[in-house]
Amino acid sequence: MTMNYRTLGGTGIEVSAYCLGTMMFGADGNPDHDDCIQIIGAALDAGINFIDTADMYGEPGGETEQIVGKALKGRRGDVVLATKVHFPMGEGPNRSGNSRRWIIDEVEQSLRRLGTDWIDLYQIHRPDPATDIEETLSALTDLTRAGKIRAFGCSTFPAEEIIEAYHVAERRGLLRFRTEQPPYSLLARGIEAAVLPSCQRLGMGVLTWSPLAWGFLSGRYRAGQEVNLSGGRPALAPHRFDPALPANAAKYQAVERLAELAAGLGCSLPQLAVAFTMAHPAVTSVIIGPRTMNQLTGLLEGASLALNDQALDRIDQIVPPGTNLYPPDGAWTPPALATPALRRRPFPGRAAA
């Protein structure tokens, strides 16, 4: 196994092509802290120097950052550490979002939980329509200049908001987003249309998440096999996995064809899935999120896999470029789609809500 390294978004920071995602460490995935710490250590020993987490991972929020902090004791200087802010952390107002007030408060809590004096990459986990992007960029700029963070980025932002943030930073003399973290997989290729080209034009690094497409590309869920909808990922979103639903037919069909392709290439389906995301020239690093040591080992065995044009052409035939066979982000919906009032003119004589 050979681990490759790439420069992160013009920052000069060298990161491994595989980034260790930690969402499955803690109560939401693997509740054994000691086991999680061993997995992190094994990933570092294998050449991964890039770790991604978030304040809201684990139960209660913050558990996963604490696990990562324990695992990095004595090795912090060798690791490029990324975390995120946005989602609620506790009850009450002003404990979520992208406001200066919350970002300045919450970065201190992440630093404490991680047991570190600085964060290499601080990411805005989702857009916040209630906060001007200038407010967010101003707070992140101040944190960078104070040495709390080294660089900052965004996660799951649409192309238009990435570009808007770039121009606001330029006009206001603020530092800009250096990275974007979008969902990307063989079954969810929508970002190829605008997000990835925009990041390329702006010189941004890209670290992609969910390369196994919510587990569909793990090999555990196959056409013609019964799916246990009461456990694991299917329990979180049964409508995505139920083979009886017509909307899922295309996914299961694509998985079968991709599994056949992987077998012909002499690799596993998960290894094919990760290699595909790494083949795009805009992608800097792909986040792998193992829950067990065996899952990590299996993914690392494919680190040297490079897909040739013939294999990529075959993939394009199975899942056309820019196509999403399922909604890849179940945690956030653009307000314009989620809120009917934003799409409807008020009746004559009635005040707008």
| Helix (H) or strand (E) run with residue 7 in it | strand 5-7
Residue 105 pLDDT: 98
CATH number of the domain residue 280 falls in: 3.20.20.100
Say which of 5, 18, 57, 184 is annotated catalytic: 57
If you count DSSP H runs as helices and E runs as strands, how many of each does the chain have, helices first? 13, 10
Please report whether residue 112 resides in a domain: yes
Q: Regarding predicted confidence, which is higher, 237 or 269?
A: 269
Q: What are phi and psi of 230, to 5 degrees?
A: -105, 0
> Taking residues 228-243, what's their average pLDDT?
76
Is 341 inside a domain boundary?
no
- Cβ burial of 134 (10 Å; 0-12, 13-18, 19+) is middle
| pLDDT attached to residue 173 | 98
CA distance 161 to 320: 25
Structural domain of residue 215, as residue ranges?
Answer: 5-223+269-325
* pLDDT given for residue 49 in this prediction: 98
Count of the separate structural domains present in the chain: 1
Decide if 252 is inside a domain. Answer: no
Q: In this structure, is residue 276 part of a structural domain?
A: yes
26: left (phi over 0), alpha (psi -120 to 50) or beta: left
Residue 178 lies in a domain: yes
How confident is the model over 276-326, as pLDDT tens digits? 999 999 999 999 999 999 999 999 998 889 999 999 999 999 999 999 998
What's the longest Cα–Cα distance across the chain?
69
**pTM of the entire structure?**
0.93
252 is catalytic: no
Q: What is the pLDDT of residue 351?
A: 52
Domain-embedded: residue 29: yes
pLDDT tens digits, 99-143: 999 999 999 999 999 999 999 999 999 999 999 999 999 999 999
The answer to whether residue 104 is domain-embedded is: yes
Tokens 């995505």, located at residue? 240
Q: Using CA atoms, how far apart are residues 353 and 351, in angstroms rounded to an integer? A: 6
Confidence of residue 204 (pLDDT cuts 50, 70, 90): very high
CA 152-97-58 angle, 5° bins: 80
CA distance 273 to 186: 6
| Residue 348: per-residue pLDDT | 66
Q: Is residue 257 part of a domain?
A: no
